[in-house]
């Protein structure tokens, strides 16, 4: 009987269970370099079969939030090497999520105060960045209006991802995940309501998928497709992603392209837990029938619902996000049917040091405090 705690072969990488720690922005790297707290945070959670890191921007241009650890300088690579070494020392596996936010950024973060970039010069509704105000104070603010990328610039961004992928492998990551979800740059190109470009990257489904697929192919050529995963959020509505006529066809077409590429996995981000629209009936079946490789999904799973999804054969691995924040030993807590703690939302993000980051106790530590 398939269950969460069985080992899994991920394209030759042996995972000790089918539980994935989902990528979660925590914004604790004050100077964009992983620090001692970053090392501790990830090593505490190495009981997951696979950890997917928080989004690591591939360039300054790709940043939308202060205090995110990147993968575009040697200092960042050295910082991440300490993280991966610590995770591996605990028997864990870890992929780096490679990230470009596109238009979900602010001029205060961009080099020289330049405008963020996107497929179109159109701002996203309800798109927020974490930048600096006129007094230099860090704060959440509406994303700045973007400019449209020129056709020849798209290849430059693909190369930023290739360099970041190589840097990730040099930093000791077991692989990389291309962040194509949640209203960021790749989804901005995929979305037929937003992308009205007249060049080879706009219009038809084939053209709108081209940027993501070219980037996946370039990364795969650099580090091998078995080390490359991708995250997408079909029917996601974050940051102004609107519905469009051929939406279901677009995502099924993308599934077919993933099937051709023999990737390590495809990771579905189900945004129902953060207010997105529900996928239409039959879509999940059509996607799964088209893409038959390793499939991960995240989106409010419990142990019980995760076990049912594995039993049904709908998914191969189950990603948990928020439960990992307050439960560094989440895998063991679920295995032993122990209580799952809730995280303090006020400390999810930002430069608050170890509070709400590395100070959550394991079950054994909780018991020790109770008996002290």
- Residues with a known catalytic role: 184
Pairing of strands 138-142, 147-148: unpaired
- In the 8-state DSSP scheme, what is residue 347? G
Q: How far is CA 239 from the centre of its chain?
A: 16
- In the 8-state DSSP scheme, what is residue 8? E
Q: Which of 153, 156, 114, 148 is nearest to 131 (CA)?
A: 114
* Contacts (Cβ under 8 Å, ≥6 apart) of 344: 326, 356
- Tell me the C-alpha to C-alpha distance, in Å, between residue 82 and each of 38, 56, 90, 223: 9, 15, 13, 21
* Contacts (Cβ under 8 Å, ≥6 apart) of 110: 60, 61, 63, 116, 144
Joined tokens for residue 63: 């940043």
Does residue 273 sit in helix, strand or coil?
Answer: helix
Q: Are 27 and 92 in contact (CB under 8 A)?
A: no
Q: How far apart are the first and last CA of the chain?
A: 41
Joined tokens for residue 122: 């159109």
Which residue intervals of the chain are DSSP H helices?
36-44, 74-89, 154-170, 185-190, 205-223, 247-261, 283-290, 303-312, 322-326, 330-335, 363-371
Joined tokens for residue 119: 């497929």
* Contacts (Cβ under 8 Å, ≥6 apart) of 93: 10, 13, 15, 49, 50, 51, 87, 174
Buried-exposed string 185-217: b where 16+ CB fall within 10 A, e elsewhere: bbbbbbbbebbebeeebbeebebbbbbbbbbbe
């Amino acid at each position: 009987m398939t269950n969460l705690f069985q080992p899994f072969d991920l394209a030759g990488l042996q995972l000790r269970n089918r539980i994935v720690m989902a990528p979660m922005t925590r914004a604790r790297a004050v100077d964009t370099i992983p620090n001692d707290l970053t090392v501790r945070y990830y090593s505490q959670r190495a009981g997951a079969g696979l950890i997917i890191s928080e989004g690591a921007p591939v360039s300054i241009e790709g940043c939308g939030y202060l205090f995110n650890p990147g993968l575009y300088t040697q200092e960042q690579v050295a910082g991440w090497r300490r993280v991966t070494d610590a995770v591996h020392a605990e028997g864990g596996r870890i992929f780096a999520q490679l990230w470009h936010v596109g238009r979900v950024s602010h001029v205060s973060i961009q080099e020289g105060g330049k405008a963020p970039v996107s497929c179109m010069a159109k701002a996203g509704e309800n798109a927020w960045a974490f930048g600096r105000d006129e007094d230099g104070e860090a704060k959440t603010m509406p994303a700045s209006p973007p400019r449209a990328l020129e056709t020849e610039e798209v290849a430059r961004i693909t190369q930023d991802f290739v360099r970041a992928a190589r840097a990730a492998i040099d930093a000791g990551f077991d692989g990389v995940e291309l962040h194509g979800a949640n209203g960021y740059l790749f989804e901005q190109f995929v979305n037929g309501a937003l992308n009205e470009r007249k060049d080879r990257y706009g219009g038809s489904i084939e053209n709108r998928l081209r940027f993501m697929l070219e980037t996946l192919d370039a990364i795969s050529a650099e580090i091998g497709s078995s080390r490359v995963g991708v995250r997408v959020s079909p029917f996601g509505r974050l940051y102004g992603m609107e519905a469009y006529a051929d939406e279901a066809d677009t995502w099924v077409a993308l599934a077919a392209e993933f099937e051709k590429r023999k990737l390590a996995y495809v990771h579905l981000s189900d945004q129902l837990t953060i207010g997105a629209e529900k996928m239409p009936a039959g879509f999940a079946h059509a996607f799964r029938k088209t893409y038959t490789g390793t499939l991960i999904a995240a989106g409010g799973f419990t142990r019980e619902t995760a076990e049912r999804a594995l039993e049904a054969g709908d998914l191969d691995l189950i990603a948990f996000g928020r439960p990992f924040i307050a439960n560094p030993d989440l895998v063991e807590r679920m295995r032993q049917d122990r209580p799952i703690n809730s995280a303090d939302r006020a400390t999810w993000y930002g430069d608050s040091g170890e509070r709400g980051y590395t100070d959550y106790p394991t079950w054994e530590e909780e018991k020790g405090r109770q008996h002290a």
